[in-house]
Amino acid sequence: MTDDLRIKPYRLDLQTPYRWSKGTQHQRAGLILRAKIDGSVGWGEAALPPHVDYPPEAFAAEARALLAGLDPGDADMLDELGLRECPARLRCGFATAVITARAAAAGRTLSQHLAPAGTVLPERIPVNELIGDADPRTCVERAREALAAGQDTVKVKCTTERELDLARVGAIRAAFPALRIRIDPNESWPLDWAADQLRAMERFEIEYCEEPLPRGTPLAEYGRLRRQTTVPIALDDSIRTVRDVELAALLGAADVLVLKAQRVGGPDRLMEVFAAAREAGLRCTVTSSLETSLGLTLGIHCAALADAPIAAAGIGTARFYAQNVGPPPPIVDGHMAVPTVPGLGFDAQAWWDAQA
């Protein structure tokens, strides 16, 4: 059977608007990739950032151009993509499809295929809930639903509405004193008041604050911010490579790293970042980029490869979708099961066949 790697774009409606500091999204767009290697099938996803309005058909054309002349069956195919300076999100889709096809051919799951020899993988991983609603009462209800589903951690999207965010987080804390609360301003807090806002949040016992400062802020500034508050600081968008991990450790810029396979360029690259974080003594949390069910399944494998004890992963976002590329991994007692089927453990073939 001929090896190949094919691409289909998607644009899917959300049933719950995704509200965060960069706006409110009502759709998600990206690519689904299917690799066939020696008769085995692998799947991948390249998800555009939620706020990026880029036609998925143009994204697909870019991906096909990068693939020109490459054979997914070649052992050095992913290295060649590096020489072509493939963007991280496209590389994540390519790498996931190719590596899951290789794993399936070897009779292993993706996480088994990537794990160091002798690694004992968990059977399931904990998952946090994501809360972006503006109304404090609705935030409390979201948290209540999460607890009822067995989840003990929520992440609250924050914006520049300082008093509203204090009211939202305060309402959740007042209702649920034992709940773990993370906050995520998504790079929206300016330097001139970020420390004040964090100190105001201290009374709510925040697990960590994720990437509060504007994109491009030097990591040295995060080191200074971290020394001005007792709220632990997590870095998200600032961590894309092993070198970023090393620099964050050198400057004392973070307590936690929040890692996305989409942002670092795929699950194999994520393993390199995990190793660097371990060496630096930094904890890691795995999260998603509001991907489809396919991308969330990849997130399960990635979280399973993190060091124990595994922190609640930010991959419980399927509820936002009105349409999807397949059934999402269910949350049972606050956890998602690690797939046991060789390869990715997710089959998008029915959606694939239904596309024009």
Task: For residue 131, count CB atoms less than 10 angstroms from its CB and return exposed for 0-12, middle for 13-18, buried for 19 or more.
Answer: buried
Q: Report the relative pairing of strands 23-37 and 4-20 from DSSP bridges.
A: antiparallel
**34 lies in which domain range?**
4-108
Give the number of domains in the chain: 2
Tell me, yes or no, whether 55 and 151 share the same domain.
no
Tell me, yes or no, whether 136 and 37 share the same domain.
no
Q: First and final CA of the chain: distance in angstroms?
A: 24
Would you say residue 313 lies in a domain?
yes
pLDDT value at position 3? 79
Q: Report the relative pairing of strands 283-286 and 256-259 from DSSP bridges.
A: parallel
- The CATH number of whichever domain residue 49 belongs to comes to 3.30.390.10
Would you say residue 343 lies in a domain?
no
Cα gap 267→258, rounded to integer Å: 14
Q: In what order do the strands lie in the sheet with 233-235?
A: 129-131, 153-157, 180-184, 206-210, 233-235, 256-259, 283-286
Tell me, yes or no, whether 24 and 170 share the same domain.
no
- The CATH number of whichever domain residue 324 belongs to comes to 3.20.20.120
Going residue by residue through the chain, which has 356 residues, state the pLDDT in tens, using 9 for 90 and above: 457 999 999 999 999 999 999 899 999 999 999 999 999 999 999 999 999 999 999 999 999 999 999 999 999 999 999 999 999 999 999 999 999 999 999 999 999 999 999 999 999 999 999 999 999 999 999 999 999 999 999 999 999 999 999 999 999 999 999 999 999 999 999 999 999 999 999 999 999 999 999 999 999 999 999 999 999 999 999 999 999 999 999 999 999 999 999 999 999 999 999 999 999 999 999 999 999 999 999 999 999 999 999 999 999 999 999 999 999 999 999 999 999 999 999 999 999 999 97
Tell me, yes or no, whether 167 and 80 share the same domain.
no
pLDDT value at position 1? 41
C-alpha gyration radius of the chain? 20
Cα gap 222→225, rounded to integer Å: 5
Cα gap 48→22, rounded to integer Å: 14
Pair of tokens at residue 144: 């209540």
What pTM did the predictor assign? 0.95
Would you say residue 326 lies in a domain?
yes
Residues that are catalytic: 157, 260
